[in-house]
Amino acid sequence: MKLAITREWFDGKARNEGDLEIAAGILARDPSPADAAEPVTPTRIAFGSLVEYMRRKRGLSMEKLAETAKIEVSEVMNIERDAHFRPEPRTVYQIALTFNLPNKALMQLSGNSTARDTGVQEHALRFAARSGESVQSLSQEEQRALEEFVAFLAKQ
């Protein structure tokens, strides 16, 4: 059996993929040493803030989001709190499904793909700047969680 795959077929598939540059296998990750920190970019900060805001908007704890999205709690925590953390593509996909957000955009924000268009980066920068510093007081639940954690730390 011989496959008849033409140049036109490849060109059509490439057009359907959009303007992303995605790699697989060893090229999918930064080839720098494992102990080197990932760079902090506005898109990573925006991704973490987006996940946190969506989670809070739906009234989900980190544990409940992890359960709903079928990911580890540590991943949710790292996404929201560590701008150096780059989640695995599967994690980003599960978050996109959970929040009904476009996977392609979340892959760009999380650092798993690169867009040729700078529009996502510009919007991410604006979002990160607006969401970076909260001046709101803690909610009752946040206050209770903080007090419980401080009490636990005081006992250690």
- Spans of all domains in the chain: 39-132
Give the pLDDT band (50/70/90) at residue 155: low
Q: Which CATH architecture has domain 39-132?
A: Orthogonal Bundle (1.10)
Pairwise CA distance, residues 50 & 109, whole Å: 10
Say what the pLDDT of residue 133 is.
Answer: 54
Say what the pLDDT of residue 102 is.
Answer: 87
Structure pTM?
A: 0.64
Indicate the average pLDDT of the chain: 77
Pairwise CA distance, residues 106 & 46, whole Å: 10
Between residues 64 and 10, the one the model is more confident about = 64
Task: Give yes or no for a contact between 86 and 48, defined as CB atoms under 8 angstroms apart.
Answer: no
The structure tokens 């040729």 sit at 116
